[in-house]
Structure 1
């Protein structure tokens, strides 16, 4: 069975943010009959979506995410830092679940000369 790996940023009870690798399992279903079955996750309701551009040299100081959201990087490269000091780099094709709606949040900055294009999917 296939899965999609992602990084989840979340806040603990004290408001300190952390990150960890997680995955979502894909199961074969008849998603678009009569086309052949394909692998999907379970359906999840989304509230809204937006495309974001983080320009080269952009830096977002400590901030919690304004809403729970999936970030799907479409181009560029950026680095995140969470409250416990851990850092990780994301590039085009990576998926991040921002779930740190409370506490100090995280920092983000663009690496390199290319803008980071992101598809953000908001959900409750």
Structure 2
């Protein structure tokens, strides 16, 4: 059912270390060629991860959420707008539409989130 070709994609992850500091990390995710939706051509899929729920989240222009840990492990994918996220180690990153982050900082100091340049729309998938 699957082919032999593989690919990798980059994934941004936020996590908490043993001292309670939150950091960004760049991870690689393996994708395998799969005949996923015949008769369509094969495509590349990651290993499935069970999800509990998905919601859409609209952050108004100028929204700012001060440092907080994530309420649960989740994947946040930006659909519209621009987000600036700062982790407790001081690093800041901007995410544009199509950007996705694996959010695992459910303990510790956490991260802050700011919607910049208009409303931001995300889909949040709880893991």
TM category (shorter chain) comes to over 0.9
Q: Equivalent residues in 2 for 1:20-59 (5 A)? A: 20-59=25-64
Q: Equivalent residues in 2 for 1:1-124 (5 A)? A: 1-112=6-117, 114-123=118-127
TM-score of the two chains, using structure 2 as the length reference: 0.91
Instruction: Write the distance in 2 (CA, Å) between the matches of 1:2 and 1:72.
Output: 21
* Contact kept in structure 2, 1:5 and 1:95, CA below 8 Å: no
The runs of 5 or more residues in structure 2 that have no matched partner are: 1-5
DSSP-derived class of the 1:26 partner: strand
Please report the RMSD computed on the Cα atoms of aligned residues, expressed in angstroms.
Answer: 1.1
Shift of 1:94: 0.5
The runs of 5 or more residues in structure 1 that have no matched partner are: none
